[in-house]
Structure formats: structure tokens, C-alpha cells
Amino acid sequence: MADSLPERTPAGTLNGLGGIAAWSQKTEAQYRSEQRGRIEVKANPIAAFVGSITNALLGIFNPNGHFAGIGQWAQAKQEDIATLQDKTQKLEGVVGYCHTYSLGGSSNAIAGDIRIPIDRQIGPIVGATIANGAIYLSSKGLWVADAQLSAEGYTSLGSTYMNIQIRVYAPNGTLHAQRIAEADTSSRESLVVHVPFVVPSAGYYVELWGNAAFGRGSRGGSVWNGMSVEKRSTETS
């Protein structure tokens, strides 16, 4: 009679009573931990795949990421163009502006034309300076000036006539350009004047003038008066 074949226990099965005993000695917590580990191992490749897609999307749409997105890229390019344009204009001498007003106004102790010294700055100044109650221009070219002045109501003295003037003077003090806006009223009145002018060199300066009856006076502060200049071109003709 042939020898009987040795018993073989398939891999992964409980090997007799010893295997059953070993399995029964495992606590429920150990068993759950083993099962959880098997699930996590199988889930990891899927989680990694989903995570890679998520990170890619965040990289495109998150402005703080490596890729700023199309909108952010376009905005950055616009800022670069604006910066380049500003630098180019400054190099060409095109940019120039200055905004001012008179803090104290005038009392108009005498009738006739009087100078209103501008002594306060609004915002930055480029291509000009404020000195001696006037705006001095730092370059030649086409400039535009605007001004406003508010006068008190008419009193019993003088006339009802009033005006506001922008005057442009050459470096030697001669009158180079002038424009006047006027009114004839006894009421409190605000006048504005606008004038384009060309200067052939740096050093020209712009002043604010007014004319009102004796004792009529003009109001001070940025609410009631002001003068601005802006450069439009380096050309003089």
C-alpha cells in the first residue's frame, strides 16, 4: 500500500487547532486595525491621483501659486505696460502736473486786480514746483491751466464787477499769456477759467489773479478756490 500523501494546508488558511487558537487570541481592535490598513493601502493610489489633479487645478486658478491664471496674467501685463508708458513719458518730458489752492483767499482791501498767492499742494507734483505763490514749469511745451475762485457778495462800496484770471509770466517777469472770466453781479459768485498755452523753455510760471469790489474778498480753502496745470505735449508749434 502506497504511503499516504502528507497533508498540505493551503496558504492563508487556518492550520489546525493552533491556527484557530492564534486567530481567536486577536482582540477585536487588532482585527479592525488590520482591515483598516488593507483598505488604506488600496485607497492610497486613488487618493494620490485625485490629489494630483486638485493640485494642478489650484496651481492654475490660485493667484498665489506658480500659475496665476489668465486673468492674473493679463492684469500683470497691463501693469507692466502702464509702468513702461509712465517711464517713457517721463523720459520724453511729456508728463507734468500740479494741483494747488490758496488757504487764505484775499480780503480785497483795495479794488482792482490782485494776486491770489497759491500756497497749498494737492497730491503729487511732476514737472513743476510751487514757489512764491506761483507754479513754476520745468519744461517747454503745450500746457493747460484751470482755476476757480469764489468771491463774497457785493457790499455798499465799489461795483458789482468781478473776474478771475490766469496769468503766465516769462522767467524775466514779462506777461506771456493771460485769460479772464468775468461777471457783473451783487451775489456771491464762483468763476472758472481755462487756458491752453505754449512756453518755449523751462522757468515760466503761472499765477492766479482776481478782481472784485472794495471789501468783497475771495474765499480761501480748496472748497472755494484752486489752480491746476497739466502738460500735454513737448512740442511748441
Averaged pLDDT for residues 67-76: 64
| Distance, CA of 221 to CA of 102 (rounded, Å) | 6
DSSP-derived secondary structure letter, 146 = E
pLDDT in the model for residue 168: 98
pLDDT at 6 over 80: no
| Phi, then psi, of 41 in degrees rounded to 5 | -60, -40
Cell of 72: 492674473
| Distance, CA of 146 to CA of 227 (rounded, Å) | 6
Question: What confidence tens digit (pLDDT) does each residue in 178-203 have?
Answer: 999 999 888 888 999 999 999 999 99
pLDDT in the model for residue 66: 47
pTM of the model: 0.61
Mean pLDDT of the chain: 77
DSSP-derived secondary structure letter, 7 = P
pLDDT in the model for residue 190: 92
- Of 177, 158, 156, nearest to 166 by C-alpha is 177
All residues at 6 or more sequence positions from 16 whose CB lies less than 8 Å from its CB, including other chains? 9
pLDDT in the model for residue 80: 74
pLDDT at 65 over 60: no
Amino acid (1-letter code) at residue 107: S
Distances (CA, A) of 105 to 111, 114, 138, 182, 218: 15, 11, 26, 18, 5
Q: Where are the beta strands (DSSP E) in the chain?
A: 97-101, 112-116, 120-121, 128-131, 134-137, 141-151, 161-169, 175-184, 189-199, 205-212, 225-233
pLDDT at 132 over 50: yes
Q: Which residues pair with 49 in a beta bridge?
A: none
| Distance, CA of 100 to CA of 127 (rounded, Å) | 14
pLDDT in the model for residue 14: 47
pLDDT in the model for residue 60: 47
Which carries the bigger pLDDT value, residue 110 or residue 146? 146
Angle made by CA atoms 225, 226, 232, in degrees to the nearest 5: 150
| Distance, CA of 166 to CA of 118 (rounded, Å) | 12
3-state class (DSSP) for residue 115: strand
Maximum average pLDDT range among 59-63, 106-110, 211-215: 211-215
pLDDT in the model for residue 230: 97
